Amino acid sequence: MLRILSIVEDTTVDGPGFRTSIYCAGCTHHCPQCHNPQSWAADGGSEMSVDELMAIIEADPFAPGVTFTGGDPMQQAEGFAELAQAIRQRTKKNIWCYTGYTFETLLNMPAQRRLLQLVDVLVDGPYIAAQRSTDLLFRGSANQRLIDVQQSLATGQVVLWSRKANPLTQTSPAARN
């Protein structure tokens, strides 16, 4: 079971193209001036099963992607890994994930690493109000990175996602295999 605050279908702000964004409950980062402080409480929202979430994801034919956001999905890594695995098995949708942790930190956290291995793009790092910019693509502060997770895992170094190189508005590379 996952603690979910809300689900927004056909949004275009949490990654490229239309997406189904799943906002989870629980975040211990407590970034000053966070745009979603109501997501901090781990007991917020309501519990939903992977099957319930998949019914919503599969019912949205216009969204080629799913975004895990919050809150911090990495703080419910086991449940989101189960959901990501179901998305991989049952759809061709790409997966983006927002987290306050850095990619490098997640590599050393077993449950989080499993989720990471199922994600196409990770938006990492805490929100830092002093580095806020409305000109940034799909993120709030300049310290946050858009990471091509599969390329980064394959090369052993962080590879930044590029809209030109990999638009991820169609199916994910992992889903095509």
Q: Per residue in 71-90, pLDDT tens? A: 999 999 999 999 999 999 99
Q: What is the pLDDT of residue 41?
A: 77
Task: Encode 85-103: b = buried (16+ Cβ within 10 Å), e = exposed.
Answer: ebbbeebebbbbbbbbbbb
For the chain, how many structural domains are there in total?
A: 1
Provide the token pair at 113: 């690493």
Name the residue range of residue 17's domain: 2-176
pLDDT above 50 (res 170): no
Considering the chain, what is the average pLDDT of its residues? 90
Least confident span in 53-57, 63-67, 127-131, 161-165: 161-165
Residue 35: count other Cβ atoms within 10 Å of its Cβ.
Answer: 9
Which residue is listed with tokens 């689900």?
A: 7
pLDDT above 60 (res 173): no
Which pLDDT band holds residue 113 (cuts at 50, 70, 90)? very high
**Model's pTM, two decimal places?**
0.91
- Give the largest CA-CA distance in the chain: 41
Q: Report, as an integer, the average pLDDT of 144-166.
A: 92
Q: What is the pLDDT of residue 166?
A: 67
Domain holding 159: CATH number? 3.20.20.70
Q: Report, as an integer, the average pLDDT of 12-37.
A: 86
Which pLDDT band holds residue 167 (cuts at 50, 70, 90)? low
Q: What is the pLDDT of residue 168?
A: 56
Would you say 69 and 23 are in contact if contact means Cβ atoms under 8 Å apart?
yes
- What is the bridge-based pairing of β-strands 65-69 and 46-48? unpaired
